[in-house]
A = this chain, B = another copy of it.
Amino acid sequence: MELLKEKILKDGMVREGNILKVDNFLNHQIDIEFMNEIGKELYRIFGDKNITKILTIEASGIAIAAIAAQYFKVPVLFAKKAKSKNLDSDLYTSVVKSYTYGREYTITVAKKFLGSDERVLIIDDFLANGAALRGLIDVTKQSGSTVEGLGIVIEKGFQGGGDRLRAEGYNLHSLAIVDSMDNCEIVFRD
């Protein structure tokens, strides 16, 4: 998505540790007009998949999923990061190993909102190692529903998570793939 690449080059900042800061339009401050372009593009890509539910994870995925859902005309369900170890039996749960924060956390989704016959589009802001995305895939599979697509705004291609998911056959589309950020220079995959 050319508009996104331009926005990343204009407003994104590379920080030590391969961190790409896009918090002025994507995951702290949100440019809602731009988010609508993201939503339209996700619909252009996945609009023919008869999606019945969009699944994302708190917090940064929520705005993207909510805006995109207006085009798909389906509900959004956002997985929560569990606050306690005592989890209800009415939840699907999955353990996510965060490489960014060097810790594990559990994500939860209420079973009653993810039936066995949903056609799920999973949306998130970033894909690096793919740990969070695999947690969302895991809860979808537990429910018996199908993952019809994975829609990501920015993929850090050099961390390999996206290519591993593609190799496994997932219908993954990232609107921009950053293949390197060496010397603070952002290089996109074609």
Interface residues in A, total, Cβ within 8 A? 31
Q: Chain B's nearest CB lies how many Å from the CB of A20?
A: 16
| Complex Cα spacing A46 to B76, Å | 26
Roughly how many angstroms separate A80 CA and B28 CA in the complex, as a whole number?
Answer: 8
Chain B residues contacting A29 (CB-CB under 8 Å) are 75-77, 110, 113
Chain B residues closer than 8 Å to A59, beta-carbon distance:
58-59, 62, 78, 80
Q: Is the CB of A33 within 8 A of B67?
A: no
Within 8 A of B (CB), among A58-90: 58-59, 62-63, 65-67, 69-70, 73-78, 80, 83
Number of copies: 2
Closest to A74 in B: B32
Min Cβ gap A49→B in Å is: 17
A30 contacts partner chain B, Cβ-Cβ < 8 Å: yes
Q: How far is the CB of A88 from chain B (nearest CB, A)?
A: 12
A70 near B32 (CB under 8 angstroms)? Answer: yes
Closest B residue to A57 by beta carbon equals B59
Partner of A78, one of B28, B69, B83, B112: B28
Q: A32-B69, A63-B63 are in contact. List 6 more A-B contacts (CB 8 A).
A: A28-B80, A28-B110, A28-B113, A30-B66, A32-B70, A62-B66
